[in-house]
C-alpha cells in the first residue's frame, strides 16, 4: 500500500492561527514524504491549534546526525530564526519534527521565552526516575548516541539504563524518510517499526516503557504496544507542550 505525497509543509511566511488564542509551533524539516494520522506533521497530531513552519534546506539526512554533523550542516541559525518568528506570532510553546534536534535544545530555548521541547527524548529523565531501564526506538541507532541522550537531560550515570534500538537502516521506513521520498509503503513501515520494537524487548525483557525518538513512528504505537506489552511515549505526550493551552 502506498500513499501519495502530502502538500508541501507550511512555509514560515504563512499566516499562523490567531495570536490572541495562541498556537503550538512545530518546526518542520524540509520533507515531502507522506504524513499519516499520528505523525507529527498531520494536522490532528496534538489536538490543539498548531502552526507548522518549514526550515528550508533542513533535509532529514542533514539533521539525523551526530552533534558535529548537525552543526556542520550549518542549519542552527535557520532554526533560531523560525522559533523567534513563531514566538512573535503568538506561539505558546514550540516543538520540532525530529528527535535528533534535542542537540539544539539549549540554543532554541535560549532564543525564546515560551517553552521549547525539541524531542520526545526529553521525557527520558522522568521515566528513568521510576524505572530501572527505558527503551528508545529510533530511525538510526548508528547516529543516535550518548550526546543526544545527555542533551535530553539524562545524567551520565544513567546512560547505561537507556536501551536504544533502531529500525532496519535499509528498510522502507528508514530509506523513505531519510531519503525524503515522495511515496512510502505504510504496510512495510509498520512491520519494520514493530519488528524493531520486538527486537528491543527481546534484548531487554524487563523494559516496560519505550520512547519513540522519531516523530514518524507514533502512527504505529498501538501495534508496538500490542506486540511487546511496552507503553510507548511520543512527543505528543509531553505535558510541557500542552500545559500552556490548559492554564
* pLDDT reported for residue 4: 37
What is residue 20's predicted lDDT score, i.e. its pLDDT?
A: 58
CA distance readout (Å), 22 to 27, 87, 113, 148, 175: 16, 10, 14, 30, 36
Cα gap 192→187, rounded to integer Å: 9
Distance (Å, whole) CA 164 – CA 147? 13
Residue 247: the pLDDT is 73
- The conformation of residue 142, written as its DSSP 8-state character, comes to T
Contact 23, 16 (CB under 8 A): yes
Length of the chain: 247
Residue 67 DSSP symbol: H
Q: Please give the angle made by the CA atoms of 13, 102 and 73, to the nearest 5 degrees.
A: 65
Please give the DSSP secondary-structure letter assigned to residue 179: T
pTM: 0.89
Q: Rounded distance, CA 39 to CA 32, Å? A: 13
For position 18, what pLDDT does the model report? 47
- Looking at residue 115, its pLDDT comes to 97
Per-residue pLDDT 10s for the chain (247 aa) are: 444 333 333 344 444 554 457 999 999 999 988 888 999 998 888 989 999 999 999 999 989 988 888 888 888 999 999 999 999 999 999 999 999 999 999 999 999 999 999 999 999 999 999 999 999 999 999 999 999 999 999 999 999 999 999 999 999 999 999 999 999 999 999 999 999 999 999 999 999 999 999 999 999 999 999 999 999 999 999 999 999 998 7
The mean pLDDT of the chain is 90
Q: Which residues of 78-94 are buried (b: 16+ CB within 10 A; e: fewer)?
A: bbbebbebbbebbbbbb
Nearest to 49 by CA among 90, 5, 108, 6: 90
In angstroms, the CA 133 to CA 158 distance is 9
Q: Could you read off the pLDDT of 37-59 as tens digits, one per residue?
A: 999 998 888 989 999 999 999 99
Amino acid at each position: 500500500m502506498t500513499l501519495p505525497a502530502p502538500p508541501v509543509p507550511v512555509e514560515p511566511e504563512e499566516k499562523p492561527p490567531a495570536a490572541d488564542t495562541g498556537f503550538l509551533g512545530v518546526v518542520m524539516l524540509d520533507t515531502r514524504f507522506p504524513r499519516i494520522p499520528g505523525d507529527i506533521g498531520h494536522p490532528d497530531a496534538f489536538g490543539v491549534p498548531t502552526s507548522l513552519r518549514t526550515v528550508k534546506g533542513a533535509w532529514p539526512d542533514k539533521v539525523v546526525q551526530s552533534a558535529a554533523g548537525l552543526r556542520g550542516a550549518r542549519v542552527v541559525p535557520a532554526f533560531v530564526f523560525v522559533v523567534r518568528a513563531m514566538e512573535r506570532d503568538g506561539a505558546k510553546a514550540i516543538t520540532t519534527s525530529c528527535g535528533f534536534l534535542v542537540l539544539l535544545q539549549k540554543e532554541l530555548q535560549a532564543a525564546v521565552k515560551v517553552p521549547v521541547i525539541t524531542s520526545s527524548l526529553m521525557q527520558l529523565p522522568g521515566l528513568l526516575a521510576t524505572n530501572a531501564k527505558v527503551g528508545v526506538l529510533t530511525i538510526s541507532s548508528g547516529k543516535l548516541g550518548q550526546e543526544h541522550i545527555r542533551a535530553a537531560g539524562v545524567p551520565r550515570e544513567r546512560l547505561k539504563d537507556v536501551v536504544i534500538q533502531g529500525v532496519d537502516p535499509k528498510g522502507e521506513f528508514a530509506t523513505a524518510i531519510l531519503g525524503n521520498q515522495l511515496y512510502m509503503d505504510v504496510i512495510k513501515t509498520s512491520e519494520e517499526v514493530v519488528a524493531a520494537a520486538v527486537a528491543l524487548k527481546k534484548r531487554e525483557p524487563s523494559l516496560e516503557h519505550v520512547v519513540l525518538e522519531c516523530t514518524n513512528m507514533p502512527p504505529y504505537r498501538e501495534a508496538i504496544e500490542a506486540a511487546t506489552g511496552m507503553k510507548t511515549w511520543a512527543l505528543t505526550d509531553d505535558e510541557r507542550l500542552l500545559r500552556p493551552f490548559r492554564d
